[in-house]
Amino acid sequence: MPMYGPPRPVEGGIRARTERGTIGEEWWSRRFIDVLESFADSGRLGRGRSYARKGQVVGLKVDAYEVTAQVQGSREEPYDVAIGIDVIDEPTWEAIEEALASQAVFRARLLAGEMPPEIEDVFAAFGIPLFPGASGDMHIMCSCPDWGEPCKHAAAVLYLLAEAFDDDPFLILTWNGRTRERLLAGLRRLDSAEAAATADPLEIEETPLTERLDDFWTPAAIRDRPPAPPMPPGLLLKLLDPPKVKVRRRDLTDVLRPAYDALGETRGPA
């Protein structure tokens, strides 16, 4: 097996912030590192941390379902590293968004740029890991001759990826197929739809006073009120129970009806 010397220095490489100890500060980046360190070879991980702290990684980029970077080793040309995860189909992502939007706490924290710890449970409910849980959950590729998963070059990228998650937790969701902008737009859309569905039907839309000066002093009860239809003659005779009074053996209502008809003709339409 050929032996290689120390890695070549890199100008403008990405350096890990921590010079010793653990990498990752927030709960989500620590969860990611804990998973990585649970299955990876400790020797390769140690060399990967060293590469990350020396700034050997350049061009780290997080896209949907794939992270790519270049890592400078001892050879002249840097190695190409790609780390992929399984794709989440669109119907599942829509269901995840609905589940997140249904919880006011999740929605508020995500809109504020925070990552609620319970978000892992939401993904787990759909059988989707928010973070890779084992080596088989990541598809690690490196152009170096080491077949280890991860090799030291990929390990360096993964450690720096954890620090990138510290800076922007939404990169976790970007890697899982949803950018920050698209996720928040979806949450706002669902939030607006929910608010519209629960709107108070008795709520009255306010009108600026300057638009109602012409009818401001008009009693509110009669504003824009359509004219009442004319009352048919004899309406009361039809609505009220007939009195037990007869005039020459005729019901009183029958006697009065001609008089009501005559009054209606005299008044004309209302």
pLDDT tens readout for residues 91-137? 999 999 999 888 888 888 888 878 888 898 999 999 998 888 877 88
Tell me the residue type at 151: C
Higher pLDDT pick, 65 / 101: 65
Closest CA to 122 of 103, 150, 139, 108: 103
Number of residues in the chain: 270
Question: What average pLDDT does range 48-54 have in this prediction?
Answer: 95
Strands (E), 46-142: 57-63, 66-71, 79-84, 139-142
The residue ranges of every structural domain in the chain are 27-195, 232-270
Nearest one of 85, 15, 86, 12 to 50, comparing CA atoms: 15
Instruction: Indicate the DSSP class of residue 221.
Output: G
For the chain, the average pLDDT equals: 81
Give the model's pLDDT for residue 223: 45
Sign of CA dihedral 160, 166, 172, 175: negative
pTM > 0.85: no
151-187 pLDDT tens trace: 999 999 999 999 999 999 999 999 999 998 999 888 8
